[in-house]
Amino acid sequence: MRTADEHALAALSLAPDPVPVELDLRHALGHVTAAAIRAHADSPPFDNSAMDGFAVRWADVHSAATAAPVMLALMGESRAGVPFTETLVPGRAIRIMTGAPMPAGADTVVPLEATSGDGADVTVLEARSEGAHVRRRAEDARTGDEVIGSGVELSARHLAAAAAVGAAHVVVFRSPRVGILSTGDELAPLGATLAPGEIYESNSVLLDGAVRRAGGMPVLLGPVRDSVADVVAAIRRDDVDLIVTTGGVSVGAYDVIKAALTDLGVEFMTVAMQPGKPQGLGSVDGLPLLCLPGNPVSVAVSFELFVLPVIRAMRGLPQPLPWTPTTAAAGWSSPAGREQFMPVRWDAGSVMPATGAGAGSHLMARLAMADGLARVPADVTEVRVGDSLEWRRFAG
């Protein structure tokens, strides 16, 4: 049997290269940059005032810094969006608003609160230094500067920075479209009245949400009945980048995914893990498929370990997600020779099982209480209270 890490690498090797696309800045939130974003314009684009006050020549007001107040006649006004277009005449001042362009000839701003005056002239009571309260053109970013690197997951602040330097579009990696196919004659739709032997279909609900949270775009391809023809028809898609199936991968007589896809080139194998031992993966006509078992807890674990890294790779994000140390707040058993991934609740630095990992892999309602997965090495058969182990919070 291969290890979970080996299977994760095999899954990752199927991931198509991320596809760069140009998006409007307003649609790029959460995408990963495929190229650096450079300044198309200086930021700020011109020298401007940091305060409401008066634009002056330092040569005219420097005596106010040390000796007596200085009175200057006003020539006009510069405000945001409505610059003063003439040149400041020596011995005079221009009223200026925060963000407004510095008029030609002015080199210093005196804030309103350091002045007095009646409108026709202004008396400068204090002056700090040459260039005070002036924001310099390009002091934030100069045209051509790299403002955001390649491989950055774009936050609201990144987008605003790109906007501020004149970018309207950005080149990012496309969100992978992930087909989701659940299978089983026993599956009833959401909220339906159950016929004898039926259960509610919940795996596509889990995968739909998990794919969204991982930054992919889910496309529901099912559920389908246990019919080889239906399965084969459902996976013939050209509008998805990856297909994830659930159920039908084991040794039973009716394991339809295995029956339908083995001849098409998908490989089925056992992985030394609990839950999630039966797995399948491969490509059909170039379309990668990851075939997960059908138990809900197995699906949640397999998504975290095998599907999430593939989606991250297709989004241009690095691997792998880290595991962090914790301790066990309860004891539980783990199978010999298989790594165990136990859904756990986290509380104050330690973890305890939310569901079982083996016999409990159908306990979907309890899985909702889990915060993440604890990882128990293959050679450990008993986790005891206080034991050190590793865990990872669910990604979404």
| Cβ distance to its own copies smaller for residue 282 or 372 | 372
43 scored as a contact of its own copies (CB under 8 A): yes
With beta carbons less than 8 A apart as the criterion, state whether 35 and 23 touch: no
Nearer to its own copies, 368 or 385 (CB): 368
Which span (63-71, 138-146, 316-324, 344-352) binds its own copies, by CB under 8 A?
138-146
Q: How far apart are CA 296 and CA 322, in angstroms?
A: 24
CB of 170 to its own copies, least distance (A): 11
With a CB cutoff of 8 Å and minimum separation 6, the contacts of 86 are: 75, 76, 103, 104
Report the distance separating Cα 94 and Cα 116, nearest Å.
14
Q: Does 207 bind its own copies (CB under 8 A)?
A: yes
If the CB atoms of residues 103 and 287 are measured against its own copies, the closer one turns out to be 103
What one-character-per-residue DSSP string does 34-70 give?
SS-EE-SS-BSSS-EESSSEEEE-HHHHHHHHHS--E
Q: Find the binder of its own copies among 16, 76, 83, 320 (CB under 8 A).
A: 83
Nearer of residues 80 and 385 to its own copies, judged by Cβ: 80
Choice between 111 and 282, CB closer to its own copies: 111
Q: Do 302 and 291 contact (CB within 8 A), yes or no?
A: no
* Burial of residue 318, with CB atoms counted within 10 A of its CB: 0-12 exposed, 13-18 middle, 19 or more buried: exposed
Which one among 79, 137, 237, 345 touches its own copies, defined by CB under 8 A? Answer: 79
Give the binding range for its own copies (CB under 8 A) out of 210-218, 227-235, 261-269, 284-292: 210-218
How is residue 143 written in tokens? 């045209």
Q: Say if residues 282 and 289 touch (Cβ distance below 8 Å).
A: yes
**Per-residue contact flags (x/-) with its own copies for residues 51 to 70, judged by CB under 8 A:** -x------------------
Amino acid, res. 117: G
Q: Are 339 and 381 in contact (CB under 8 A)?
A: no
Q: How far is the CB of 355 from its own copies (least distance, A)?
A: 8
45 binds its own copies (CB under 8 A): yes
Q: For its own copies, how many residues bind (rule: CB under 8 A)? A: 91
| Residue 186 interacts with its own copies (CB under 8 A): yes or no | yes
**Contact characters 224-263, its own copies, x per CB under 8 A:** -xx-----------------------xxxxx---------
Block residue for tokens 């997960």: 292
Residues 266-295 that bind its own copies (CB under 8 A): 294-295
Which residue in 157, 263, 318, 325 binds its own copies (CB under 8 A)?
157
The binder of its own copies chosen from 117, 176, 184, 216 (CB under 8 A): 184
Q: Any contact of residue 167 with its own copies (CB under 8 A)?
A: yes
- 8 or 141: CB nearest its own copies: 141
Residue with tokens 């026709």: 120
CA angle 89, 94, 100 (to 5 degrees): 125
Q: Does 26 bind its own copies (CB under 8 A)?
A: yes
CB of 218 to its own copies, least distance (A): 10
Nearer to its own copies, 69 or 83 (CB): 83
CB nearer to its own copies: give 227 or 284. 227
CB nearer to its own copies: pick between 67 and 253: 253
Identified binder of its own copies from the candidate list 11, 147, 289, 291, rule CB under 8 A? 147
User: Does 320 help bind its own copies (rule: CB under 8 A)?
Assistant: no
Tokens of 152: 């950055």
Residue 127 is classified by DSSP as -
Is position 305 an interface residue for its own copies (rule: CB under 8 A)? Answer: no
Contacts with its own copies in 338-377 (CB under 8 A)?
359, 362-368, 370
Q: Which residues of 370-392 are buried (b: 16+ CB within 10 A; e: fewer)?
A: bebbbbbebebeebeeeeebebb
Residue with Cβ nearer its own copies (67 or 195):
195
The answer to whether 96 and 78 have CB atoms below 8 angstroms apart is yes
Distances (CA, A) of 302 to 226, 296, 309: 21, 10, 11
As to burial, measured by CB atoms within 10 angstroms (0-12 exposed, 13-18 middle, 19+ buried), residue 9 is: middle
Smallest distance, its own copies to C-beta of residue 17, A: 26
